[in-house]
Structure 1
Amino acid sequence: MERDFGAGDDIRFTRMGKAGIITLTRAQALNAVNHRMIRAIAKALEEWRDDDAVELVIIKGEGRAFSAGGDLQEIYHSGRAGKPDTGFFADEYRLNAAIANYPKPYVALIDGIVMGGGVGLSCHGSHRVMTEKTVFAMPEVGIGFFPDVGGSHILSRLVDSYGQYLALTGNRIGQGDAIWCGLGTHAVASQDLEALTDELSETGKVEAALSRRCRKVPRDIDDATIHVLSEHFSLGTLKDVVASLKEAADKGDEFAGTTLATMETRSPTSLHVTFREIDLGAMLSIEESMRMEFRILNRMLESHDFYEGIRAAIIEKTKDPKWQPARLEDVTKEMVDAYFDPLGEGELEL
């Protein structure tokens, strides 16, 4: 039985047995999330929360992506027109918090690319199923933005300072590392997802269905790299992290050299803001994290680097962003502080 919660052709909502199933259907756009989709998912979750016949929620995506993020072109053009859509982000952040607090099992079947807004729709859920096709990243520092949608809450809680590493590099990881660090809860073969969905819908027994299909997968990162990575990214300031990486790179450490080179292509402002955001996020509830991120978001939508990053990566695809300031050392503490200042009457209401 299908329902229409106002997402049109972008999402298919289905009631099957004991499950409410959300299927993202913008396959050609890698299931990029727009405002209409956010509102519709929120409506569905609210209705299913109070429906005793719905025992769990399943969310998945068609095509080769679960969801590659938010619809950045739409955000870019509205901001360039002088009308940045903070309402989209407010509704998205409220949805992220609602997923984190959902009283029923929320099973995300992450079979493909999951980035940005897609992380917000999946990684706050109680069960995060990763397949061999999973590609995870929070690449926002590469477009002059920051890991939002609750990234401060999710990434700050990963093992061995791995979340800070992912946030500051934007690097992609696969199933094995995602399971190891805590982003995923279960590894399941892509070919088994249809049978898993059928059993979940029929029985409503999430743990039993997952345990039958869950398998152990090796991580890609080795022990030595984990140790070195943790040493660098557990340091107390971004300046210390960069200095540590540089010192190691100068001594011939390949991991440090590659990591530093990656970070040097990212927005210096984004790196400073992101480091503080992840650092603070470890001490905040999901609600506090979302309010902090909404403060940052409002300032990002007024910044140069966000629009420059999207221009270079997505609009003109020149891959040559001109960051302002262009160097890490030119980003002052006062500049970073401003991103975290209260919004007064404009604070996010949850």
Structure 2
Amino acid sequence: MTNDILTRIDGHAGVISLNRPGAIHALTLDMVHAMTAALQAWKADAAVQCVIIDHAEGRGFCAGGDIAFLRNSALNDNGVSGLRFFHDEYQLNHLLYTYPKPVVAFMDGITMGGGVGISQPAHFRVATSNTRFAMPETGIGLFPDVGGGWYLSRLEGRVGQFLALTGARIDGAECLALGLATHYLASEALAEAKARIATEDVERIDGILGTLADTAPDARILGNIFDINRHFASDRYEDILASLDGDDGAWAVKELATLRTKSPQTCKVALRQLHESAALSDFADNMAMEYRIASRVLIRPDFAEGVRAVIVDKDNQPKWDPASAEAVSAALIDAIFAPLPTDEEWKPL
């Protein structure tokens, strides 16, 4: 088992600690496998009554997936190894979503991409003043996966579409206000919370977290809800851009400038993804859809180029292909969402 994942049993709690501080605990395939193995073992272990997911040393909870590995796959093996990563990561996401024992995720720090995928399925999601939550995939030509379509599409109004398209970072108070977190605790209270969860009746987890909860600051995003719902009302990306372009207010100008830096292909994919996710009743169906998208988007030009611009060369000057929303055809989006051959479709564990 990889040292990037530390597992132990503390009292009646199985504890999974992400331990890759140099990469802000970004998930590798070995880490995905280690987490899955631990969860599978504990599912059948009567001594383990709940699961805690946190991070060990260093900042951040989890910055996402291993983007460098995925880009290397896109460039060098036609996405084969990258798609295996997505396949197994999505199985982990689904395992957490359907887990029969209470799961508590401590989102104490950066919680992005793959970190969202392992925290949002948890029954209890604890935010702190350190929490910085985002799905920033439109900036690297990917898409808000790991269940992002399911969670974001179920937020009130059009906040999910706003977060998916802009990649906006929100803090712990905003996560609590939007329902992305169930509790807000001071970082200093986390050790006591974990200790009590591991030793007290599992029926008391909500009460433990509630007793230790701190009063969250005002959620800044709530002040922009009217503008978010108005400007991001359409599932047609061109309409959103036009709506923002027609508003000379500072907020609209800022958000339009942000969208101009994102992959037009990814933005159109995200809007359709959230639209289709909202109509699904089974999380497994959502993950199967996201796997179809991943199988196409991983090897499209925008992903390798986006990672180059943002992470590798850091010039922040991606050359998107297609370069504009108008140039992203309906046929291209249809092809990205098309079913896979039956034997290639994603299935849960």
Provide TM-score, normalisation by structure 1: 0.95
Which 5+ residue runs of structure 1 have no aligned equivalent? 1-5
Summarize the Cα distance change of 1:222–1:140 in structure 2 as closer, same or farther, 3 Å threshold.
closer
Instruction: State yes or no: 1:48 paired with 2:42.
Output: yes
Say yes or no: does 1:79 pair with 2:74.
yes
Aligned-residue offset at 1:160: 2.1
Distance 1:324 1:222, change over 3 A: closer
Instruction: Please tell me whether the aligned partners of residues 174 and 221 of structure 2 are also in contact (alpha carbons under 8 angstroms).
Output: no
What amino acid sits opposite 1:346 in the alignment?
E
Q: Given the superposition, is the C-alpha separation of residues 222 and 126 from structure 1 closer, same or farther in structure 2, using an over 3 Å criterion?
A: closer
DSSP-derived class of the 2:181 partner: coil
1:188 corresponding residue in structure 2: 185
Give the match for residue 338 of structure 1.
335
Q: Which runs of 5+ in 2 are unaligned?
A: none
Residue in structure 2 matched with residue 114 of structure 1 by the alignment: 111
Which of 124, 127, 146 aligns to 2:124? It is 127
Does the aligned pair in 1 maintain the 2:107–2:126 contact within 8 Å?
Answer: yes
Counterparts in 2 of 1:160-175, with a 5 A limit? Answer: 160-175=157-172
Amino acid at match of 2:142: F
User: Could you tell me which residue of structure 2 aligns to residue 209 of structure 1?
Assistant: 208
**1 CA distance for matches of 2:4 and 2:222?**
42
Name the structure 2 match of 1:259: 255
Please state how far the C-alpha of 1:323 moved relative to its aligned partner.
0.4
For 2:313 and 2:251, locate their aligned partners in 1 and report how far apart those are by CA, in whole Å.
Answer: 31
Give, in whole Å, the separation in 2 of the partners of 1:159 and 1:197: 30
Shift of 1:349: 1.4
How many residues are treated as equivalent by the alignment?
341
Q: How far is the alpha carbon of 1:247 from its aligned partner?
A: 1.3
Structure 1: distance between partners of 2:55 and 2:70? 22
SS in 2 for 1:114: strand
Match of 1:229 in 2: 228
Aligned to 1:275: 271
Amino acid at match of 2:327: D
Equivalent of residue 18 in structure 1, options 12, 22, 33: 12
- RMSD (Å) for aligned C-alpha atoms: 1.2
Query: 8 Å contact 1:159–1:182 — kept in the other structure?
Result: no
Query: Once structures 1 and 2 are overlaid, which stretch shifts more, 152-161 or 107-116?
Result: 152-161
State the shift of 1:11 in Å.
0.9
Asked if the contact 1:133–1:175 (Cα under 8 Å) also holds between the matched residues in 2, the reply is yes
One-letter amino acid of the counterpart of residue 254, structure 1: A
Equivalent pair of 2:17/2:53 in contact (CA under 8 Å): yes
